[in-house]
Amino acid sequence: MVMQVLMAPAVSVLISTVLSLLSLALLLLLCVIRKKRRMEGTYRPSAEERKQTGSGEKPSLPLPLPKEERLI
């Protein structure tokens, strides 16, 4: 009975230490993955074009149309 009382705090300290180390390792892993993704992304021009045009809208002309030619 006395051993169980003495070991309970030791077990809780061990569990909290392990959980802290695991959370720190997970945070470090996420930071490395985000940095790597930022530096080594994939090239997807279609996704960029969709972002620029908006959803379902026709792309507007970048330059205005010239004036209509008329006969003299």
Predicted pLDDT of residue 31? 93
Give the pLDDT score at 71: 82
Q: How confident is the model at residue 30, as a pLDDT?
A: 94
Q: How far is CA 28 from the centre of its chain?
A: 15
pTM for the model: 0.45
List, for residues 16-72, the tens digit of each pLDDT value: 999 999 999 999 999 998 888 777 767 777 777 777 765 555 556 577 888 888 887
